Amino acid sequence: MNFKDKVVLVTGSSRGIGRSIAVKFAKEGASVIINYRSNESEAKAITEIISSYSGNCMCIQADVSKERDVKMMIDTIIEKYGHIDILVNNAGIAIDNDFQNRHVKDWQETLNTNLIGVFLTSKYAGKHMLERQYGKIINISSTNGIDTIYPYSIDYDASKAGLINMTKNLAIEFAPFINVNAVAPGWVDTGMNDDLSKSYLKSEMEKTLLKRFAEPEEIANVVLFLASDMARYIDGETIRVDGGLKMG
């Protein structure tokens, strides 16, 4: 896959799946924008590594749930590169807690990042993509938004289900110029799951046919496929990447 001359924004890309997606795009020649919310040192470190691959990388601090931040981020990208070709909506949070200890502010925080953040980046980046009549948007949902649901993350699961729905609506809104698709990973080995107990994670691993969690790179592979010309006839779709995770 060759992404030379493509400008790619990956939200929440200082670590985890986003970082892996950013590295892969850079290795394929793209200009990559690292977005981070708070961890400046991690973001700068990955920006330096990526610069050694594609030579064209920048990092921007922006909270995707804040409209002002998103407008500033997209304006900065347009000012520097003149266009934006690929948007990967990867930034996401999960606040695990039992139902009675879950509060409205947990819901708001989760929905603000996982749904409203995607709305904002898609709105402001989509405008520029439409002007050039070219663009790819890939949203990182989750199998939690389909059938492997957990009351401990009730708001996260609802947000990821909402994101699958938003993917279809955005595909309609931006047709026929921008392909909008989603990837729904099962368990992925990242810092997002650090707070979960080892015994719980082991029982979840047992539910996957491949008996292991995904490496972030295995999610990135599918994101790059969806952003490539090979996937040009796929639109409004969600692809599961879950190692054969069985519902439970």
- Considering only 23, 30, 91, 222, the residue that binds ligand NAD (CB under 6 A) is 91
Long-range contacts of 171-174 (CB under 8 A, 24+ apart): 171/235, 171/236, 172/236, 173/126, 174/126, 174/129, 174/130, 174/135, 174/137
Q: Is 117 in the site for ligand NAD (CB under 6 A)?
A: yes
Pull the structure tokens for residue 247. 């519902």
Which residues contact residue 128 at a Cβ distance below 8 angstroms, ignoring those fewer than 6 apart? 74, 78, 83, 84
Candidates 134, 156, 200, 233; catalytic one: 156
Q: Is 142 in the site for ligand NAD (CB under 6 A)?
A: yes
Distance CA 165, CA 145 (A): 10
Q: Is 76 in the site for ligand NAD (CB under 6 A)?
A: no
Smallest gap from residue 124 Cβ to ligand NAD (A): 14
Minimum CB distance to ligand NAD smaller for 31 or for 238: 238
Minimum CB distance to ligand NAD smaller for 28 or for 63: 63
Smallest gap from residue 233 Cβ to ligand NAD (A): 25
Residue with tokens 């015994």: 199
Minimum CB distance to ligand NAD smaller for 116 or for 130: 116
Q: Is 188 in the site for ligand NAD (CB under 6 A)?
A: yes
Catalytic site includes residue 156: yes
Q: Which residues participate in catalysis according to the annotation?
A: 156
- Footprint on this chain of ligand NAD (rule: CB under 6 A): 11-12, 14-18, 35, 37, 63-65, 90-93, 113, 117, 140, 142, 185, 187-188, 190-193
